[in-house]
Chain A
Amino acid sequence: MQTFGQQLVNGLSLGSIYALLALGYTMVYGIIKLINFAHGDIYMLGAFWGYYSLRAFHFNFLMALCSAMVVCAVLGVVIEYFAYRPLRHSPRITALITAIGVSFLLENGMSALVGANARSFPQALPVVTYHWLGIRVSNIQLLILITACLLMALLELIIKRTKMGKAMRAVSVDPEAAQLVGINLNHTISFTFALGSAMAGAAGVLIGLYYNSIDPLMGMTPGIKAFVAAVIGGIGSVPGASLGGFIIGILETGVQAVGLSAYKDAVVYFVLIVILLVMPAGIFGHNRREKV
């Protein structure tokens, strides 16, 4: 019971990170049906921004987090503008391959710029560990969980309540009709990239704080896992992405806890396959007919 509780805490912390990342995949897919393979690298850039802003600019944690979100939002918008927008009317596979290219560019560009070595992330906050019913919880874990939940609530509010959020949903379900009511597709798509990338930037700073180590390739594996999380939750579904992220996080820590560390990634894919066999559209996905 105690280990179970402990793993749940660890899994929820890691899951928050995946959930934040998965949101970007799912929103971008929802709006332009593109799997943005460069999304994990935005998270990496968010972590590096956090690193430099804490070390060189002596930002405090909150400033590092917020500025990373802004910087990543801008980067996401710029990447969409230069890499994906010119391909809006090309076959999907073209954009997909471009996304992989952007991902390589960011990974290798950062390696060239700052070196491929891992760096230790500045300790922005002194670590305090609380003990509760035999479970160890660090202030960092709590911070990750709370920050992620706040950001997800904020995102939900933006999507459900604001005019741009409603426009996002309108474009996702029917881009042609959205244009007919006067919604500008480009603005809405930029807005979506900004939101998703800001979430990834926040996740990058949080993971830096949690694992203490960042490097230019750090976005690859979490990027794929967050994508799996988005698919499990039902790609295009925002609550699905959050839930999927937590499922993957808990699963991964759980598998490690029972001594199967070597298989932790395999288990993630196994669960993906099982869920897709049982629920092809994911947990919250609906099999809406494809528009022609």
Chain B
Amino acid sequence: MLTVKDLAVNYGAIQAVKGVSFEVHRGEIVTLIGANGAGKSTLLKTISGLMRPKAGQITYLERPLDRLSAPQIVRAGISQVPEGRHIFPGLSVQENLQMGAFGQRDRAVFNETLQTVYDYFPILKKRRTQDAATLSGGEQQMLAMGRALMAHPQLMLLDEPSMGLAPIFIQEIFTIIQAINQAGTTVLLIEQNARQALKIADRGYVLASGQVKLSGSGAALLANPDVQRAYLGG
């Protein structure tokens, strides 16, 4: 579904991603794990069209993505839940969700999707008229995920959704990611929380200093001694 080939991305002279290749197949949960500064967020920003590759190709459903703008990529079916949530403060919870469906003109489809999102996250329905800035961190994460779902993505990119959350919220977020996947959305999940991510992932890639160091099924990576030492705390 998504093929990234020899991708290189720079910030000025700094090389953040140095020739990364990986694939995501329809229906999978694929996780990318790696330490701080490995280039994970840069990779997602490039897939979403916020940054331009210096070299390499990104192909989505047989189409090259690198000439499309960020809004066009959303319309093509790829939504991102950015690192740090980035909900819109000053807009209510429901307005945030409405922005998620920015390209959607059909009122009936909109209402139906909104209902689905409220089914995943009942707390958002309860808070729908509240300013999004007043939500707790966990609720903001749910809002960011709900907002991405509003665009009806076929492929959902999640950048460290468990960051800074209490264990109970983390559990819930991972359960919902699995539910979203089971409902037919392909998931590319970036995590520092490697154990949890590899548990739910079909396949995983280990990224370090801008390059893929290891890849394999979630279970194989969990069992790999190098991965255990570096990312699973022994």
Interface set of A (CB-CB < 8 Å, partner B): 163, 166-167, 169-170, 173-174, 176-184, 288
Contacts and interface: CB of A to CB of B under 8 A. Distances in A.
Given A180-B70, A182-B151, A173 B90 contact: yes
B102 interface: yes
A180 B50 contact: yes
Interface in B74-107: 74-75, 79-80, 82, 86-91, 95, 98-100, 102-103
A159 B56 CA distance: 41
B45 to A, nearest CB: 8
Contact of A169 (B48, B90, B151): B90
Nearest to B71: A182
A66 to B, nearest CB: 28
26 contacts: A163-B98, A163-B102, A166-B95, A169-B91, A170-B88, A170-B91, A170-B99, A173-B88, A173-B90, A173-B91, A176-B82, A176-B86, A177-B87, A177-B88, A178-B88, A179-B48, A179-B69, A179-B71, A180-B48, A180-B70, A181-B79, A182-B74, A182-B102, A183-B99, A183-B102, A288-B89
Contacts of B71: 179, 182-184
Contacts of A174: 86, 88
Chain B interface size band reads 20 to 34
B147 interface: yes
Q: Which of A170, A174, A177, A180 has the most CB of B within 10 A?
A: A180
Given A166-B98, A166-B99, A179 B70 contact: yes
A180 B90 contact: no
Contacts of B49: 179
A229 B100 CA distance: 34
Contact of B99 (A176, A178, A184): A178
Contact of B86 (A167, A177, A183, A288): A177
Contacts of B148: 180-181
Given A169-B90, A174-B88, A180 B82 contact: yes
Contacts of A173: 88-91
Closest A-B pairs by Cβ, 8 of them: A182-B74, A177-B86, A179-B70, A182-B102, A182-B71, A182-B103, A170-B88, A184-B71
Q: Which of A170, A178, A183, A288 has the most CB of B within 10 A?
A: A170
Given A163-B98, A166-B99, 11 more contacts: A166-B91, A170-B91, A176-B50, A177-B87, A179-B50, A180-B50, A180-B80, A180-B148, A181-B99, A183-B102, A184-B71
